[in-house]
A and B are shown apart, each in its own frame.
Chain A
């Protein structure tokens, strides 16, 4: 899957996705659950702001000194017997990985979730070379089995599918004959994939954080697939975006605490694994051969610019989970593997304005994303900067905000997205309000209100509304 997965234009994608009722319900439900869990987890720490500031200072320091830490990392990987390949472009990275696999005469590749390998089109490259490539994260596996359906969320890639759809896909492609119960579906995936893990020659993983001081790579999962990918095949290849690095275990600890809380509201996920080099002397499991591929692919062009802070990102999706626009249009509308606010900032930088110039307009600039970000990336400011750059470059906006909002199926003035995000007086909504709730509205509001009964945004901003709404709902935890 390339970074860009759709040739349809932005408006077409949005139209298609807004029509998908299940998708929109799923997205709204997931946003709420994840958001609530994140708030709970953050609240428990007491001083969340201090944690965020610490996360920010660590990430800023690393970016400022990135050459030093990457050098240190590579020295320490090599001293433990691992091989390091620095790849300027995605093609270079893919070519190197393909060559390693061919040298090993590898046929079967098992993969744990990695955004950067999608960004560099790795699977297609390996499949062309005759390898069988199997995604093992449950969500990614479902998408792969369903003829490579693109991901719609950076943490929960199959969010847009319901369990009946998944059952049908499994029945069609995997001769599955049980029910649509998530437990049974997951158990089937476990059985199918266990065989693959045991017979694969090559394991490919992403990297949540590399640790410079020890030459370690770390993997954060709940399912345990990354552990299997790194314990069983004889060759392990880990692919990392060059910015995903921390100085030592002490900074790693802080960032992993921020990541798991922000992504899924857990204090730690079921498995956090720190791997250093290939298997040690006398070890039985773990890879005999370990390769670390460090990928630039456009990142160095962001360094030193006003967009540098986007490289602080730890891919937690907290910004996605609070975004009212994402909630409405869903992940596929972005047309990039990176969706939501982070996708709207990052995609034009990595993939170019030509393909992604509408994305900075897929925002109400309400700042909910910035407030949610555990490493304090000023996302809404970066979106605003993008718009300035685009206007400067093209002399005019490719889509005006008004038009973009129209493309979401909503009239701009009465758009509740705006009402939630800013303290704009909500007089236009008054006629539709009964008992402080907006019920199904006519015209432009219809698409939105059908999504769910929304409380009137009156004076509340989105996050106030959210807290309020959660309280109203009782504990509502999952």
Chain B
């Protein structure tokens, strides 16, 4: 359903007249004279990008755990224990299965009396409530930016925004294959999707470590409104 637009014509006519011309019907996006963004980490190998990510994680107060695909369940279980266990809030995401985590999620955690809540649109608002009382939220990273240490999350009905936001702590599983140099590549990928006819997700989050603030005497405080701790589990899937 289309939304409404009010007062547009008069407003834009005034803008055009301030600029001393008629309204423009068509503007081509220019070819920019300067394009420094494409040179950052241009020829870096995947290994080099991992190294950049490692050092960036130290700056952003995100814990980085590296693992093989085979060890992922063990390492994730350990990280969850280290953060104090459940309740856990997860996306409904086939990658959990694809990365061999079914056993952990559906057998081991329940057996250990850890409450596991998987985001499910059928449950409606209940999802938000469950995420709010969760100790840890767990999602995959859809794209990972080495330069800034950022995980990019595309929302969908199965992938609620709340899972990476409301729980006290947050764990992102990063498939090594998702690492790109910087936000430039993410922007290009998003534009590529649009050109391919996809709709932009209602929410795209670029998340870089735990929430923080320097509003009190410029002292860095980790953990304000979002998660107070964040860990990245980097899985070698290449």
Contacts and interface: CB of A to CB of B under 8 A. Distances in A.
A355 to B, nearest CB: 22
A69 B27 contact: yes
A257 to B, nearest CB: 7
Contact of A227 (B119, B121, B161): B161
Interface in B161-193: 161-162, 165, 182-184, 186-188, 190-191
Interface of B: 1-8, 10-16, 18-20, 23-27, 29-30, 32-37, 39-40, 56, 60, 119, 121, 123-125, 127-128, 132, 145, 147-150, 155-157, 160-162, 165, 182-184, 186-188, 190-191, 194, 199-221, 223-227
B148 A268 contact: yes
Contacts of B10: 86, 88
A197 B162 CA distance: 12
Given A222-B211, A275-B202, A303-B18, A77 B3 contact: yes
A268 B150 contact: yes
Contacts of A158: 215-216
A227 B226 contact: yes
A54 B20 CA distance: 25
Contacts of B157: 280-284
Interface string A75-109: 10111111111111000100010000000000000
A267 B206 CA distance: 12
Interface string A244-268: 0001111011101100000010111
A138 B214 CA distance: 9
A232 interface: yes
Nearest to B209: A270
A2 interface: no
B29 A182 contact: no
Given A84-B3, A276-B200, A139 B215 contact: yes
Contacts of A231: 161-162, 165, 203
A-B pairs with lowest CB-CB distance, top 7: A224-B226, A282-B157, A139-B215, A86-B11, A253-B187, A54-B34, A267-B148
Contact of B24 (A67, A157, A301): A67
- For A138, A216, A285, the residue with the greatest tally of chain B CB atoms inside 10 Å of its CB is A285
Given A162-B217, A300-B18, A84 B206 contact: no
B208 A271 contact: yes
Given A142-B216, A283-B155, 6 more contacts: A82-B3, A186-B213, A242-B15, A256-B183, A257-B183, A283-B160
B145 to A, nearest CB: 8
Contact of B226 (A58, A139, A271, A280): A271
Interface of A: 26, 29-30, 33-34, 45, 47, 50-51, 53-54, 57-58, 61, 64-71, 74-75, 77-88, 92, 96, 136-139, 142, 156-159, 162-163, 166, 182-183, 185-187, 189-190, 193-194, 197-198, 213-214, 216, 222-225, 227-228, 230-232, 242, 247-250, 252-254, 256-257, 264, 266-286, 290, 294, 296, 300-301, 303-304, 478
A166 B211 CA distance: 21
B29 A137 contact: no
Contacts of A257: 37, 182-183
B6 A214 contact: no
A222 B154 CA distance: 19
A83 B4 contact: yes
B211 A74 contact: no
Given A67-B16, A84-B5, A86-B11, A61 B187 contact: no
A156 B215 contact: yes
Contact of B203 (A65, A78, A274, A281): A274
Contacts of B160: 283-285
A29 B217 CA distance: 9
Contacts of B220: 478
Contact of A88 (B2, B7, B27, B147): B7
B201 A276 contact: yes
B22 to A, nearest CB: 9
A87 B14 CA distance: 12
A224 B225 contact: yes
Contact of A186 (B29, B162, B221): B221
Nearest to B147: A267
A228 to B, nearest CB: 6
Given A223-B226, A284-B127, A182 B3 contact: no
A138 B213 contact: yes
Given A67-B15, A86-B6, A159 B218 contact: yes
Contact of A84 (B8, B33, B147): B8
